[in-house]
Chains A and B, each alone.
Chain A
């Protein structure tokens, strides 16, 4: 049974449909990447799944149970299982690095402080920022902030990690460190749903790649299938364009 299952999802902005007939499943331990041109609805999908945007039609199943986005308690429970890292990192500007990572487990979830502190230290060491615990976000580079955001997401021990174009807002020389962090984490077996433009990264890391355009899925397959032997013309077109450089 897949961890996350999406069936016939439809979402729109006013009269404009941003997601249509969307069906996809994410197995436990899998790394699923969404690729496609801008405006294809990739980031919208993540936001819809997090309950940040409304659904018109269709269903989302987590661990076999249907998610009722209108029910506050269900939404709360869902957000406890999925953690998202944003393109703009969105670190809490008024808190230090360590506080950013610790605040949600301690204040919101009310986990014991000692355990949270230990776990937070582990995570920050993992992402390579153990020496900047007391720094504020505006003292860090974009790459460093994004790594803190990853640690913050993982502090909640989520079942799935959503990564929404996490390197898109970074200077080129900082992209590598963030991708490296994700590569290391993938070896821990965390389930991930990634939206990215970094094709080399997607190709090497993913277990499944989904190509989207205009709110619909065009083709799904392994990285080898999508990048080396695409079936659809549109996929071929897109892959050809991006892999040229």
Chain B
């Protein structure tokens, strides 16, 4: 589907939240596109390995009473026997189901012909092997199509990736879009040429908040709340939040809890990627980071900045910004079907410098009020508020950065893992009401 409105105006997009939707665009009667997390897709991955424990794999497939929506088989000629064992177990576990799984198979023709009889009567689709980027994109597109119940739906993860691509192309620099919603967390790193590496997880700060606690542990979430909270009480709050879509954090404590959940959701998404063999260093060192979703809607800009810096453990100099509520996600949805204008949808927040200098250095910050030189030593941690356009130079290096009208200014972090209280007070991230 290509978006083309009769009036020639930009398309109207409904961005779904946990229990509601926000409309972005000129139309009031209906939306052209809807951004949604999509229907869950249970995917069974069968990747051939000659020395796999076939009996254990068969037992697992049978014992789990597997009921996948799709099966993705990647097999080489040497993997046939192992794959056939697992496929037979899957067929036994899914036989007679009202909705049989879609089977996608990436292998050479001879291997496919040997595996096919074991899959009958399940329908089989041949797909290219996931060795080339284009083929991987094809597989992802096919699987995403299965999560989309209607043609006007754009999956949130898809919109985040398109948004990253659009911002990177517009700014001509590598850009990371960091999206944390109630049900999901996405990190999409795009280059100006259009290449995207994306990480997505079902960890969120709302309906999937309990998953964050299950993954990270209660203490890991609790350490980010700048006040003593006992574990059982915190768990109750998380569970109630998970069962209450779009709950509003009316107190400072609940807002701090949401920020804590967001940090852990991002950190664990990165950890999962690392465990899968994906290098996360480019995500941490991205030159531009745009926050979207719940973290972009925190009341203070500092809250968004603090969560992004803590969760990503940024390295080097980064331009931090956030979307106007749901605006960039809506633009990403449009960009996924055509081209989108992202102007005016992003608010620059800060230039964040995370460094560990060997010796004292000088930082020169020029803005509308003039030029300030700041001496930086190890352990320094400060916020330099700025006005208007900002140019930043680091003495003794070629490092420079510039940005327009930052909401916060320049954040300098020359202290590894600053104390949470120091963080919060330096950026005045949380109102003290309800926290003391």
| A and B are partners in one complex rather than unrelated chains | no
